[in-house]
Amino acid sequence: MNTGRQRILVIDDEPQIHRFLGPALDAAGYEPLRADGGQEGLRAIALWSPDAVVLDLGLPDMDGKDVLEKARAFYEGPILILSARDREIEKIEALDRGANDYVEKPFGVGELLARLRAAMRQAGRAQAPSGPIRAGDVEIDLEKRRVTRAGETVKLSPREYDVLVRLALGHGKVLTHKELLTAVWGPAHAQDTQYLRVFVGQLRQKLEADPASPKLLQTEPGVGYRFVDDGA
C-alpha cells in the first residue's frame, strides 16, 4: 500500500536488521519495504520503484554486487550498501558498480539515516544542476566556469576545475579514484592515483580554510573523494 511517504526498500537476509531498521525508518517518516534475498529484491525494485534501496552484499541467493549491477540496468534511484565486508576493495567495487554510498556493519541508525538523506538529496539534484553550487564561502558557477571564495575569484587550472566540478556534481557521493581519473584524464590513466592526490591537494590549498583538515573535499581512505556542499 502506498502511504504517500517515501519508500525505502531494505534487501537483507538478516531478520534482526529488518526488526531494527523497519521501525527506525518508519519513525523517520519513511515507508519501509522488505526483501530477504537478491532475486526478491530485484523483483521488489521493479514492482515498487522505491525512492531508495538499502542493499546488503551478503545475500543467500546471489552476491549483493550482482544485485547492484542488475538493478542499475533499470533503476536510477539511490542505492546504499550495507555490509559487514570492510575491505577497501569491496567498497571500491560496489561504488564503481553504481552504489551511492557504503555503510559498514555494525552501524548507527543515525549515521545510516543521514547518509540515506544525503543520497536521496543527491539523486534529486543529479539530473540537471540549476544555478551555482555552494559550499560555505565557495561558489561554483557552472555556466561561467567560474569559482569564487568569499566573493573573490579563485584561479584554477583547467584540470583543477574539471576535478572540482566532477566532485561537486556528485553532491556528497563518494567518487572512486578510478571514476575521477577516467572522467578527467581518460581510461589510460585510471590507475594513476598520484595525479589525483596532487590536484586534490592543490584544490584544498586554494579552497579550504584549513587544507590539513578539509571540510569541502573529503577523503574516503583507500576509496576516493567526496565534495560536501551546503545540501549534503
Q: What is the pTM of this model?
A: 0.62
Cα Rg, the chain, nearest whole Å: 18
Which cell is 27 given? 519513525
pLDDT at 70: 92
Closest by CA position to 132, among listed 143, 119, 120, 118: 143
pLDDT at 190: 80
CATH of domain 133-227: 1.10.10.10
Which cell is 232 given? 549534503
- 3-state secondary structure (DSSP) of residue 95: helix
Closest by CA position to 101, among listed 172, 45, 13, 193: 172
Burial (0-12, 13-18, 19+ Cβ within 10 Å), 131? exposed
One-character DSSP codes across 156-213:
--HHHHHHHHHHHTTTT--EEHHHHHHHHH-GGGTT-HHHHHHHHHHHHHHH-SSTTS
Q: Structural domain boundaries of the chain? A: 7-125, 133-227
Mean pLDDT per block of 10 residues along the chain (232 residues) reads 79 94 93 96 92 94 93 89 81 86 86 87 60 89 90 91 89 86 79 89 96 94 87 56
| Domain 7-125 of CATH type 3.40.50.2300 | yes
Contact 48, 33 (CB under 8 A): yes
